[in-house]
């Protein structure tokens, strides 16, 4: 199995893109100081390679982390992604919006290199006027940009590869990671591991317990593959009031569902977006610098304000006369009857042919296969902080209590010091570090923080070896 799986026979880029790539190569050459690789290579006594960094997840976060490390001359890096080549992240799978929800001028994966930005990539193909006419970035174009980013930067990646439970090898001073690819299993060794596994990367997507006993032929979560064609003419019930609920309702309606009913607990839909408030340097760069009590109250406030459907998402669903909203309508009971799903709310009973669950995800590290062995050693917020009684939030208390560079911290000091070699660059970083993993708007500041933490560890771990190299340094500048 090769360490790289480049895009199969990539087409020659159009002239404008070719010129951009030439300019980008010049940028990288100009900014290349200091140029030499510096991490001492490691291998096992029998000659097995030990990676400096293994990155699990090949979406925007994993690719950005890989480039950041490569730019800092950490070159013994590998990215794994369990998706099909070209389908990394949610953009061409379960993301059913039309556009990204963040402003088109966002930066982050580009590391402040203009010629690596989405805008430069788009303008190279469609011109400045073309970019001016874009209101929001179509999600498929963002996915295509990330594939170009991966190709032009030659990021080493294995697609269709799933990582198993990380295991600490004290004898080798590294992590052993079982991986599965095309039915074959092997192990990799890595000094540091970055988990860039997305929005559910610190837990998993969950349906409420009332729904789970139903046969899966009657329901799906929004992250599941859904055969919308099979819902043509059918009655569909949607649970949830966030953007993904409206996205999936819209796709069902646009595909020909006979009627879609969307249910939510609140008295009215949120129409203020706290994520727009948060898009400023102070919060994006410095949330991690606040004391615990302030980090807690800021993030709890954002969550309590709720995730609203953006205006265009809301209006997309409301355009159909077959769409119906039900406020203050939690699902009290769900059962199967005559091959259909029967839903009871405080206001009545409804019968559906199919249910779509948009209830989000649960934060719980014990649910992650990568952390099956490690999670008992990882500090959570509930181990470090007790909120005021009127501010308690069970899901937030299960968030990992991360260090300043997204590193896990040990639950009991001195029992598992090696745990800081795993970096949680997922949405589970929200409470500790704000918008980081799985958040495009936070990448401008979070990626350098992550990369700096990894290079800091690699250097300090090898400080004795670097000192010996300094003491042995004998390159003369002149003859006395």
Average confidence (pLDDT) over 444-458: 98
E strands, 106-265, are 157-158, 161-163, 167-169, 174-181, 184-195, 203-205, 219-221, 235-239, 259-263
Whole-angstrom distance, CA of residue 433 vs CA of residue 95:
25
Residue 14 has pLDDT above 70, yes or no: no
Average confidence (pLDDT) over 78-87: 93
Q: Containing H/E element for 79?
A: strand 77-80
We find that the CATH architecture of domain 15-196+439-466 is 3-Layer(bba) Sandwich (3.50)
Residues 6+ apart with CB under 8 A from 140: 91, 92
Are the C-beta atoms of 210 and 183 separated by less than 8 Å? no
Average confidence (pLDDT) over 12-30: 89
Range with the poorest average pLDDT among 190-194, 204-208, 288-292: 204-208
Residue 6's pLDDT is 42
Residue 438's pLDDT is 82
Are the C-beta atoms of 430 and 301 separated by less than 8 Å? no
Average confidence (pLDDT) over 420-444: 94
Q: Side-chain half-sphere of 422: how many Cα atoms within 13 Å?
A: 33
Task: Pick 285 or 12 by higher pLDDT.
Answer: 285
Average confidence (pLDDT) over 277-302: 96
Radius of gyration of the chain (CA): 24
Average confidence (pLDDT) over 85-103: 88
In the 8-state DSSP scheme, what is residue 228? G
Residue 13's pLDDT is 62
- pLDDT (tens digit per residue) in 163-185: 999 999 999 999 999 999 989 99
Residue 85 has pLDDT above 70, yes or no: yes
Going by pLDDT thresholds of 50, 70 and 90, the confidence category of residue 479 is: confident
Whole-angstrom distance, CA of residue 299 vs CA of residue 121:
34
Average confidence (pLDDT) over 218-242: 97
Residue 4's pLDDT is 42
Report the CATH superfamily, name and number, of domain 207-271+308-359. Answer: FAD/NAD(P)-binding domain (3.50.50.60)
Task: Pick 98 or 306 by higher pLDDT.
Answer: 98
- Start-end of CATH 3.50.50.60 domains in the chain: 15-196+439-466, 207-271+308-359
Residue 480's pLDDT is 81
Whole-angstrom distance, CA of residue 307 vs CA of residue 314:
12
Average confidence (pLDDT) over 198-215: 94
Going by pLDDT thresholds of 50, 70 and 90, the confidence category of residue 8 is: very low
Average confidence (pLDDT) over 298-308: 91
Range with the poorest average pLDDT among 13-17, 41-45, 93-97, 299-303: 13-17
Residue 11's pLDDT is 55
- pLDDT (tens digit per residue) in 349-388: 999 999 999 988 999 999 999 999 999 999 999 999 999 9
Whole-angstrom distance, CA of residue 199 vs CA of residue 206:
13
Residue 270's pLDDT is 86
Residue 353's pLDDT is 98
Count of CB atoms situated within 10 Å of the CB of 216: 9
Going by pLDDT thresholds of 50, 70 and 90, the confidence category of residue 455 is: very high
Q: Side-chain half-sphere of 436: how many Cα atoms within 13 Å?
A: 35
């Amino acid at each position: 199995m090769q360490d790289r799986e480049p895009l199969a026979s990539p087409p020659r880029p159009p002239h404008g893109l070719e010129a951009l790539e030439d300019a980008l190569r010049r940028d990288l050459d100009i900014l290349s100081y200091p140029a030499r690789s510096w991490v001492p290579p490691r291998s096992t006594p029998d000659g097995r390679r030990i990676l400096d960094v293994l990155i699990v997840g090949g979406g925007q976060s994993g690719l950005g982390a890989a480039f950041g490390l490569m730019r800092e001359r950490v070159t013994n890096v590998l990215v794994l992604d369990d998706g099909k080549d070209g389908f990394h992240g949610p953009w061409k799978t379960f993301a059913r919006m039309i556009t990204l929800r963040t402003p088109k001028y966002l930066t982050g994966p580009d590391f402040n290199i203009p010629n690596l930005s989405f805008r430069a990539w788009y303008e190279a193909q469609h011109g400045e006027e073309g970019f001016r006419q874009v209101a929001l970035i179509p999600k498929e174009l963002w996915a295509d940009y990330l594939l170009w980013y991966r190709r032009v930067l030659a990021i080493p990646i294995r697609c269709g590869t799933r990582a198993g439970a990380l295991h600490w090898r004290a004898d080798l001073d590294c992590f052993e990671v079982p991986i599965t690819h095309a039915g074959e299993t092997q192990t990799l060794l890595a000094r540091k591991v970055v988990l860039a596994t997305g929005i559910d990367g610190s837990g998993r997507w969950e349906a409420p317990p009332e729904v789970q006993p139903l046969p899966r032929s009657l329901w799906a979560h929004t992250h599941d593959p859904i055969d919308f064609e099979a819902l043509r003419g059918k009655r569909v019930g949607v649970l949830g009031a966030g953007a993904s609920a409206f996205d999936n309702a819209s796709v069902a309606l646009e595909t020909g569902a006979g009627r879609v009913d969307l249910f939510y607990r609140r008295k009215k839909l949120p129409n203020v977006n706290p994520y727009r408030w948060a898009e400023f340097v102070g919060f994006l760069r410095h949330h991690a610098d606040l004391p615990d009590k302030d980090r807690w109250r800021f993030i709890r406030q954002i969550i309590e304000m709720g995730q609203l459907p953006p205006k265009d998402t809301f209006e997309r669903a409301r355009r159909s006369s077959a769409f119906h909203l039900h406020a203050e309508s939690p699902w009290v009971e769900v059962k199967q009857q005559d091959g259909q799903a029967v839903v009871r709310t405080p206001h009545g009973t409804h019968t559906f042919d199919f249910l779509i669950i948009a209830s989000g995800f649960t934060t719980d590290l014990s649910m992650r296969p990568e952390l099956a062995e490690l999670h008992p050693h990882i500090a959570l917020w509930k181990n470090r902080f007790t909120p005021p009684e009127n501010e308690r939030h069970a899901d937030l208390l299960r968030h990992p209590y991360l260090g300043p560079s997204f590193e896990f911290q040990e639950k009991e000091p001195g029992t598992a010091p090696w745990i800081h070699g795993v970096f949680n660059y997922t949405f589970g970083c929200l409470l500790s570090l704000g918008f980081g993993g799985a958040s495009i708007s936070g990448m401008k500041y979070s990626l350098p923080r992550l990369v700096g933490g990894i290079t800091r560890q690699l250097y300090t771990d090898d400080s004795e070896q670097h000192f010996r190299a300094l003491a042995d340094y004998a390159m003369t500048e002149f003859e006395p």
